[in-house]
Amino acid sequence: MLNTAAYRLSHFLSSIMLILAGVVLTSQQGFASITWLHSFFSTLFEVLPILLLGLGGLLCLFYGRTRQAALLIVVYLSHYILANEADYFRTHGVVRESTALTFHMCSLLLPLLYGVYAAWSERAQLVQDLVARSAVLIAVTGVAVAMARRYPDDVLQWLVAIRVEQLQGPLTQALIQFSYAAFALTFLVLLIQYLRHPRVLHASQLVAVLGLYWMLLNTFMLPEALVVMSSMVMLALIVAVAQEAYQMAFLDELTGLPGRRALNERMARLGRNYVIAMTDVDHFKKFNDTYGHDVGDQVLRMVASQLRKVSGGGTAYRYGGEEFTVLYPGKSISECLPHLEALRRNIEEYRMRLRDKQSRPEDAKRGRNQRGQSKSQHVSVAISIGVAERSDEHRDPQEVIKAADQALYKAKEAGRNRVVAYGQKAVPATRRKAVATR
Ligand SMILES: Nc1nc2c(ncn2[C@@H]2O[C@H](COP(=O)(O)OP(=O)(O)OP(=O)(O)O)[C@@H](O)[C@H]2O)c(=O)[nH]1
């Protein structure tokens, strides 16, 4: 099933920026007119592809991303083969006899091999995975080279033959028809891959296809297209690996909020004034026991989505389990209390529709009967919040967290679903229903 909530523009941002930067850097009106900048980039791009292959490849292998490592190799090899032909053309003003065959073969094999590797997910065994991928690469290129050496004319004729007359036009003349089909197929497969599993890695692979397509279109037209765009594509693939590594380390997988490690990092850089609020979902164990762990997870995601929107300049973190922390740098308790109270109220008032198996009909007939009767189950949850600020009594963040925890304990003791500041007496109020169903 498609998970539309998980699609993010941020998944695409870095790769789109890099590919666009490649287009700008290559354009003739762009940096070519600024001489010193042009010579700087020319020198940089002479070494960049091999550097990216080496360093990026190591990074990919370090994180077990054999897929991205294989993609780097495919992109680098294509760049290397085509650069030979393009350099000859630039130096002599004419192409080699073999150029057409080499270029058309690359324009078919690059999108195909790229698509196969990008859609081929990693296996548990790193070495086995690498061996399998290398075997495919060696077999495909081996057969292609052997065929091209043995029957160069036949292979060229087969490649350039126009199979669908209707598709032939001014916009589809730069590449062979097979190449357009291969790019379209790869793009489609990788789009489906992203829609089914929305990840930065998949987004980068998808955007990179466009970069490669643009690179082939301009290989002989724009002087730096090949080296610049292949570098940018490799960079986009590597940045995605680094981005996912960062997410793994700093973001909580269930809620998407920054996790404990990110909180510790942030706490090491706090100034003299700050407020820390510790929040805890009330009666969460009962929730899990009544509705199951999946619904419990759903509740945590809902609470996190409300916490993400907390006002007053606070940032929410998942502290662990059903506990969250809200950090207010440069604020005093009195400034934060109204915002935390608003957060508590928002969560209390939120009616969450259960999407679990319990609320689903057992069969299609019952489903039809139930439809329109608004029988779906709604639940609401409450949170308790303990708040403390930096003071002479609590000088470092760990002490402030402890104080906030003590205030949280008081909030729980006084009947839950309330905000209590450290040192403040928690007034017991009429008991509110923390888990309500209707
Ligand atoms: N579904 C789900 N449950 C979790 C997760 N992390 C922790 N829990 C559960 O959270 C519950 C925490 O329960 P308790 O610490 O006893 O507290 P409580 O039931 O919230 O009661 P009070 O805090 O006293 O209001 C435990 O049952 C844990 O198994 C999670 O990621 N998902």
Kindly report, residue by residue over 158-172, the tens digit of the pLDDT. 999 888 887 777 777
Pairing between β-strand 419-421 and β-strand 383-389 as defined by DSSP bridges = parallel
What is the residue with the minimal CA distance to atom 12 of ligand 1?
285
Task: Say yes or no: 202 and 311 in one domain.
Answer: no
Q: Please enumerate in sequence order all residues whose Cβ is within 8 A of that of 277, keeping only pairs 6 or more positions apart, or say none.
A: 314, 325, 326, 327, 328, 336, 340, 385, 386, 387, 404, 419
What is the residue with the minimal CA distance to atom 5 of ligand 1?
321
What is the residue with the minimal CA distance to atom 23 of ligand 1?
282
List, as one string, the DSSP characters of 358-378: GGS-SSHHHHHHHTTS----E
Give distance in angstroms: CA of 153 to centre of ligand 1.
Answer: 71
Give distance in angstroms: CA of 284 to centre of ligand 1.
Answer: 5
Q: Which amino acid is at 189?
A: V
**Residue 351 token pair:** 């009616």
**Residue 410 token pair:** 């008081």
Q: Is the pLDDT of residue 178 over 90?
A: yes
> Cα separations (Å) of 261 from 23, 256, 268, 402, 407?
38, 13, 11, 17, 23
Tell which of 194, 215, 250 closes a domain: 250
- Closest approach atom of ligand 1 to CA 289: 27
Q: Would residue 151 count as lying in a domain?
A: yes
Q: Would residue 322 count as lying in a domain?
A: yes
Task: Say yes or no: 325 and 181 in one domain.
Answer: no
Question: What is the rounded CA–CA span in Å between residue 306 and residue 349?
Answer: 11
Q: Which amino acid is at 270?
A: L
Write down the pLDDT at residue 9.
Answer: 86
Q: Which of 88, 33, 41, 35 is nearest to 231 (CA)?
A: 41
Tell which of 224, 250, 276 closes a domain: 250
Higher pLDDT residue, 95 or 110? 110
Q: What burial letters (b/e) apply to 387-399, b meaning 16+ CB within 10 Å?
A: bbbbeeebeebee
Q: Would residue 421 count as lying in a domain?
A: yes
Please indicate whether residue 412, judged by its CB atom, sits closer than 6 Å to ligand 1: yes
Task: Say yes or no: 177 and 222 in one domain.
Answer: yes
List, as one string, the DSSP characters of 269-313: T--S-EEEEEEEETTHHHHHHHH-HHHHHHHHHHHHHHHHT-SSS
Task: Say yes or no: 18 and 158 in one domain.
Answer: yes
Q: For the purposes of burial, counting CB atoms within 10 Å of the CB of 116, is it exposed (0-12), middle (13-18) or buried (19 or more)?
A: middle
Long-range contacts of 43-49 (CB under 8 A, 24+ apart): 45/224, 45/227, 45/228, 45/231, 46/227, 48/227, 48/231, 49/76, 49/79, 49/80, 49/227, 49/230, 49/231, 49/234
How many C-beta atoms surround the C-beta of residue 177 within 10 A? 17
Pairing between β-strand 352-353 and β-strand 378-380 as defined by DSSP bridges = antiparallel
The mean per-residue pLDDT over the stretch 339-359 comes to 84
Write down the pLDDT at residue 12.
Answer: 95
What is the residue with the minimal CA distance to atom 14 of ligand 1?
285
Write down the pLDDT at residue 35.
Answer: 67
Give distance in angstroms: CA of 406 to centre of ligand 1.
Answer: 18
- Closest approach atom of ligand 1 to CA 286: 19
What is the residue with the minimal CA distance to atom 27 of ligand 1?
285
What is the residue with the minimal CA distance to atom 1 of ligand 1?
296
What is the domain count for the chain? 2
* Domain limits for position 308: 260-361+375-437
Write down the pLDDT at residue 33.
Answer: 60
Question: What is the rounded CA–CA span in Å between residue 253 and residue 208?
Answer: 26
Higher pLDDT residue, 369 or 64? 64
Q: Is the pLDDT of residue 1 over 70?
A: no
- Where residue 311 falls (left for φ over 0; alpha for ψ -120 to 50; beta otherwise) is beta
Query: Are the C-beta atoms of 216 and 110 separated by less than 8 Å?
Result: yes
Task: Say yes or no: 277 and 237 in one domain.
Answer: no
Strand order in the sheet with 352-353: 352-353, 378-380, 436-437
* Residue 431 banded pLDDT, cuts 50, 70, 90: very low
Q: Would residue 141 count as lying in a domain?
A: yes
The mean per-residue pLDDT over the stretch 165-184 comes to 86
Lowest mean pLDDT among 4-8, 52-56, 172-176, 400-404: 4-8
Tell which of 230, 250, 270 closes a domain: 250
Most distant CA pair in the chain, distance? 90
At 256 the three-state DSSP class reads coil
The mean per-residue pLDDT over the stretch 11-18 comes to 96
Q: Is the pLDDT of residue 426 over 90?
A: no
Task: Say yes or no: 106 and 149 in one domain.
Answer: yes
**The domain spanning residue 272 has which CATH number?**
3.30.70.270
* Residue 438 banded pLDDT, cuts 50, 70, 90: very low
How many C-beta atoms surround the C-beta of residue 78 within 10 A? 24
Task: Say yes or no: 100 and 146 in one domain.
Answer: yes
Lowest mean pLDDT among 36-45, 237-246, 364-373: 364-373
Please indicate whether residue 281, judged by its CB atom, sits closer than 6 Å to ligand 1: yes
Write down the pLDDT at residue 107.
Answer: 96
Q: Would residue 112 count as lying in a domain?
A: yes
Please indicate whether residue 320, judged by its CB atom, sits closer than 6 Å to ligand 1: no
Long-range contacts of 21-24 (CB under 8 A, 24+ apart): 21/232, 22/211, 22/214, 22/228, 22/229, 22/231, 22/232, 22/233, 23/214, 23/229
Task: Say yes or no: 397 and 286 in one domain.
Answer: yes
Q: Is the pLDDT of residue 364 over 80?
A: no
Q: Please enumerate in sequence order all residues whose Cβ is within 8 A of that of 352, keeping only pairs 6 or more positions apart, or say none.
A: 298, 299, 302, 378, 379, 380, 381
Give distance in angstroms: CA of 292 to centre of ligand 1.
Answer: 12
Task: Say yes or no: 227 and 286 in one domain.
Answer: no
Task: Say yes or no: 147 and 279 in one domain.
Answer: no
Q: Would residue 255 count as lying in a domain?
A: no
> Cα separations (Å) of 324 from 167, 318, 339, 404?
57, 4, 15, 12
How many C-beta atoms surround the C-beta of residue 183 within 10 A? 23
Q: Is the pLDDT of residue 369 over 80?
A: no
Write down the pLDDT at residue 162.
Answer: 86
Q: Would residue 411 count as lying in a domain?
A: yes
The mean per-residue pLDDT over the stretch 323-336 comes to 96
Task: Say yes or no: 172 and 27 in one domain.
Answer: yes
Q: Report how far Cα 119 is from the mean position of its chain's Cα atoms.
A: 16
* Residue 27 banded pLDDT, cuts 50, 70, 90: confident
Write down the pLDDT at residue 36.
Answer: 67
* Residue 190 banded pLDDT, cuts 50, 70, 90: very high
Q: Is the pLDDT of residue 360 over 70?
A: no
From the list 46, 322, 349, 393, the catalytic residue is 322
Please indicate whether residue 300, judged by its CB atom, sits closer than 6 Å to ligand 1: yes
Question: What is the rounded CA–CA span in Å between residue 292 and residue 57?
Answer: 43
Give distance in angstroms: CA of 282 to centre of ligand 1.
Answer: 9
Q: Would residue 366 count as lying in a domain?
A: no
Lowest mean pLDDT among 24-33, 54-63, 141-150, 172-181: 24-33
Please indicate whether residue 285, judged by its CB atom, sits closer than 6 Å to ligand 1: yes
Question: What is the rounded CA–CA span in Å between residue 306 and residue 387?
Answer: 18
Please indicate whether residue 288, judged by its CB atom, sits closer than 6 Å to ligand 1: yes
Q: Is the pLDDT of residue 126 over 70?
A: yes
Task: Say yes or no: 227 and 319 in one domain.
Answer: no
Give distance in angstroms: CA of 333 to centre of ligand 1.
Answer: 27
Please indicate whether residue 428, judged by its CB atom, sits closer than 6 Å to ligand 1: no
Kindly report, residue by residue over 267-290, the tens digit of the pLDDT. 998 888 999 999 999 999 998 898
Write down the pLDDT at residue 327.
Answer: 97
- The mean pLDDT of the chain is 88
Instruction: Say whether 341 is catalytic.
Output: no
The mean per-residue pLDDT over the stretch 277-306 comes to 93
Q: Which helix (H) or strand (E) holds 384?
A: strand 383-389
pTM above 0.90, yes or no: no
Give distance in angstroms: CA of 144 to centre of ligand 1.
Answer: 59
